[in-house]
C-alpha cells in the first residue's frame, strides 16, 4: 500500500546521528548474551515486572538443561533488546479469542470461510489498486505544487493571479488529501477484516490438521506468514520483537524460540520442538531435538 506524501510550503532538513556498539565475536555459549527491555506497549495488559519474569523463565528453558548461563539481564551492557510491540497481530488474536469461544469450528466452517476469504481478498486488491493509483496522482500533483511554491518564493511574488492559482491548488490538494485519508481508513478496516479471517483459517487448519498451505497476513504488506515474534540483527544491534501471544504459555514459547535464534539455532522439523517454525506445541521444555541442537552449538559432548 502506498503512503500519502503530505504537501508542505516550508521544507526543513535535518540529520540524525546513530551511535552503535559493535559486538565482539565469541564462541557460542561461552559468554552470556546481555539483554534489556526496549519498546514496551502496555496494551498487552502486562507490567514490565511480569514481562521480565516471563523472559527469565524463557531464558531458563535453554540454561537449565546444560547448566550454563546463556543470557543475562543487563540494561547497561545489553546488545539484545526485547521489544513488546502491539499491532494488528495481537488485535487479531484477541478477536479470535472472542470468536472461538462462541463458534464450533469444523471442516464445513473452514470451507465456507475459505470461500469468503477469496471474495474479500479480491475486493481488497481491487480497492487497494484504486487507492494506490489515486495516491500516485496526488503525489505527482503535490510535487508539481511544491515546485511552483519554490519558484514563487524565489520570485518577486507580485502576481495576484499566480498567487490565487497557487492558493486554489493548495485548497484542492487539501481536499484530496482528506478524501485519501478517508479511503485509507476504509482500506485499513478491510485489512483488519482480512487478517482476522486469515488468522481464524490458519487456526482451524492446524486444529483440524488440514493439509493446506497456510494463508499469509495482509496487514504488514510484506507477504510474511503470521509471526508472533521475530529475532533480527543489524548494525544497530540485535533485537527480539514480540507481536502476538494468546496466553502466558504462548508468550514463553515465543520468547524461548527467539532466544534460540539469538543463540544461533535454526528451525527444526519436530512440530513439538521449541525451535519449530510455528508456535503450535504445548511443551514448556526442550525436546530431544532442541537439546541435541543446543549441545552441538555449545560443543557439549553428545
Q: Are residues 121 and 77 in the same domain?
A: no
What three-state secondary structure class fits 35? strand
Domain-located, residue 97: no
DSSP state of 76: T
Q: Any residues with CB less than 8 A from the CB of 75 and at least 6 apart, and which? A: 36, 37
Q: Are residues 128 and 65 in the same domain?
A: no
Domain-located, residue 8: no
Mean pLDDT on 242-263 = 90
Q: Are residues 41 and 119 in the same domain?
A: no
Residue 246 confidence (pLDDT): 77
Domain count, the chain: 2
Mean pLDDT lowest among 24-28, 194-198, 216-220: 216-220
Q: Domain with 275 in it: what CATH number?
A: 3.40.390.10
Residue 105 confidence (pLDDT): 62
Domain-located, residue 181: yes
pLDDT at residue 57 greater than cutoff 90: yes
Residue 80 near residue 38, CB atoms below 8 Å: no
Mean pLDDT lowest among 1-10, 88-97, 114-123, 159-168: 1-10
Q: Are residues 75 and 113 in the same domain?
A: no
Domain-located, residue 20: no
Domain-located, residue 72: yes
Q: Which grid cell is 36?
A: 534489556
Mean pLDDT lowest among 46-60, 139-153, 182-196: 182-196
- Whole-angstrom distance, CA of residue 1 vs CA of residue 299: 47
Domain-located, residue 219: no
Domain-located, residue 13: no
Q: Are residues 149 and 183 in the same domain?
A: yes
Pairing of strands 237-242, 80-84: parallel
Q: Which grid cell is 260?
A: 534460540
Q: Are residues 116 and 201 in the same domain?
A: yes
What three-state secondary structure class fits 276? strand
Q: Are residues 118 and 48 in the same domain?
A: no
Q: Are residues 166 and 80 in the same domain?
A: no
Q: Are residues 169 and 244 in the same domain?
A: no
Domain-located, residue 27: no
Among the three residues 145, 173, 207, which one is the final residue of a domain in this structure?
Answer: 207
pLDDT band per the 50, 70, 90 thresholds, residue 92: low
pTM: 0.57
Q: Are residues 60 and 145 in the same domain?
A: no
Residue 21 confidence (pLDDT): 36
Among the three residues 149, 175, 207, which one is the final residue of a domain in this structure?
Answer: 207
Range(s) of the domain holding residue 114:
106-207
Amino acid at each position: 500500500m502506498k503512503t500519502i506524501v503530505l504537501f508542505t510550503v516550508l521544507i526543513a532538513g535535518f540529520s540524525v546521528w546513530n551511535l552503535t556498539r559493535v559486538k565482539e565475536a565469541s564462541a557460542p555459549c561461552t559468554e552470556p548474551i546481555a539483554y534489556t527491555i526496549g519498546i514496551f506497549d502496555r496494551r498487552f495488559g502486562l507490567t514490565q515486572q511480569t514481562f521480565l519474569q516471563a523472559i527469565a523463565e524463557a531464558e531458563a528453558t535453554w540454561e537449565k538443561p546444560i547448566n550454563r548461563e546463556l543470557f543475562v539481564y543487563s540494561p547497561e551492557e545489553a546488545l539484545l533488546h526485547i521489544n513488546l510491540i502491539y499491532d494488528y497481530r495481537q488485535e487479531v488474536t484477541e478477536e479470535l479469542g472472542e470468536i472461538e469461544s462462541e463458534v464450533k469450528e469444523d471442516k464445513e466452517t473452514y470451507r465456507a470461510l475459505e470461500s469468503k476469504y477469496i471474495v474479500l481478498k479480491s475486493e481488497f486488491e481491487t480497492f487497494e489498486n484504486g487507492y494506490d493509483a489515486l495516491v500516485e496522482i496526488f503525489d505527482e500533483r503535490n510535487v508539481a505544487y511544491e515546485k511552483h511554491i519554490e519558484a514563487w518564493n524565489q520570485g518577486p511574488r507580485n502576481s495576484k493571479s499566480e498567487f490565487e492559482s497557487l492558493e486554489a491548488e493548495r485548497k484542492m490538494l487539501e481536499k484530496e488529501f482528506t478524501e485519501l485519508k478517508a479511503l485509507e481508513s476504509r482500506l485499513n478496516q478491510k485489512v483488519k477484516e482480512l487478517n482476522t479471517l486469515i488468522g481464524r483459517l490458519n487456526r482451524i487448519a492446524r486444529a483440524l490438521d488440514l493439509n493446506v498451505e497456510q494463508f499469509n497476513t495482509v496487514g504488514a504488506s510484506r507477504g510474511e506468514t503470521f509471526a508472533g515474534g521475530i529475532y533480527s540483527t543489524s548494525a544497530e544491534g540485535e533485537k527480539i520483537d514480540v507481536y502476538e501471544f494468546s496466553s502466558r504459555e504462548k508468550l514463553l514459547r515465543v520468547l524461548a524460540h527467539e532466544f534460540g535464534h539469538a543463540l544461533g539455532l535454526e528451525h527444526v522439523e519436530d512440530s513439538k520442538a521449541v525451535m519449530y517454525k510455528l508456535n503450535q506445541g504445548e511443551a514448556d521444555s526442550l525436546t530431544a531435538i532442541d537439546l541435541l541442537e543446543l549441545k552441538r552449538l555449545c560443543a557439549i559432548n553428545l
